[in-house]
Amino acid sequence: MPREVVWVTGASAGIGKAIVEAYVAEGAVVAATARPSERLEGLAQAHENVLAFPADITDATAIKATVAAIEERLGPIDRAILNAGTHHPVKAQDFKADDLRALMETNLMGTANCLEALLPVMLPRRGGQIAVVSSVAGYTGLPTSAYYGASKAALFNLCESLKFDTDKAGVDLRVVAPGFVRTPLTDKNEFPMPFLMEPEDAAKRVVKGLKGRRFEVTFPRRFAYQLKLLRCLPYWLYFPLVARSTKTR
């Protein structure tokens, strides 16, 4: 039986690296993409079934070439985990439009570049799965997350809109919304992070969730539902509650 071909972006560290290793454990062959680095090469060298395809997701031409190279070498991509992204905490006094634009270029437009490369090959085949990694930070505004939360909220809306068409074409489009996962990016946060998870535990949730039928794979569930409930509150109640819980007031 042919092995599943999985493409993971943002694969060199954090949750992306853990997702690569989780799919290797499942018996898949994994195409790992991140910007060129010793970490990416080391990941490929450490696992027989991992092949490095270095690329910057903000380069649309490079990403189209990467998808073509993966399919030429490994065969059709069965599952793509579009995980690459970054985080830049910001307070109001430090807000810069250029910084927001740069983060959007990676988190939103970089993901869009991957979708633009994947959809033309998956839609005609009427098969395959694409999982876009957003965040529970996309549910509602959180302290210091103006840039990051805006980009992740945009990914939710993007995928919700595209899903009407991908469903008709037989392509399984999903959104993954992790809570706080211990990575160099979350280490930048200056507020308490409830239910903080290790990357390996998060990766297991991703793999398990993408085997199910839910459009949104979110975890930890308790924290995700708390945030979903918060966004339904009137603002006069929402802002004091969040400020108190994050110790920003």
- Report DSSP state, residue 156: H
Q: Tell me: pLDDT of 155 over 80.
A: yes
Tally of structural domains, the chain: 1
C-alpha span between 88 and 129 (Å, rounded): 29
DSSP-derived pairing of the beta strands 29-33 and 79-82: unpaired
What are the φ/ψ torsions at residue 156 (nearest 5 degrees)? -60, -50
Residues paired with 176 in a beta bridge: 133, 217
Q: What percent of the chain has pLDDT over 70?
A: 93
3-state secondary structure of 51: strand
pLDDT given for residue 206 in this prediction: 96
> Pick the catalytic residue: 148, 225, 235, 238?
148
* Span 55-91, pLDDT tens digits: 999 999 999 999 999 999 999 999 999 999 999 999 9
Evaluate if residue 194 carries a pLDDT over 90. Answer: no
Range of the domain at 178: 5-245
Give the pLDDT band of residue 172 (cuts 50, 70, 90). very high
| CA 168-104-244 angle, 5° bins | 100
What integer pLDDT is reported at residue 222 of this predicted model? 85
Q: Kindly state the average pLDDT of the residues 145-170.
A: 97
- Evaluate whether 183 touches 15 at the Cβ level (below 8 Å): yes
148 is catalytic: yes
CA distance 182 to 154: 23
Phi, psi of 79 (to 5 degrees): -145, 130
Give strand pairing partners of 52.
Answer: 32
Mean pLDDT of 226-230: 89
Distance separating alpha carbons of residues 126 and 38, to the nearest angstrom: 36
Query: What is the radius of gyration, based on Cα positions, of the chain?
Result: 18
- 222: domain CATH number is 3.40.50.720
pLDDT in tens, 111-127: 999 999 999 999 999 99
Question: pTM score, two decimals?
Answer: 0.92
Q: What pLDDT score does 64 carry?
A: 98
Name the residue among 64, 85, 73 with its Cα closest to residue 10: 85
Quick one: pLDDT at residue 74? 97
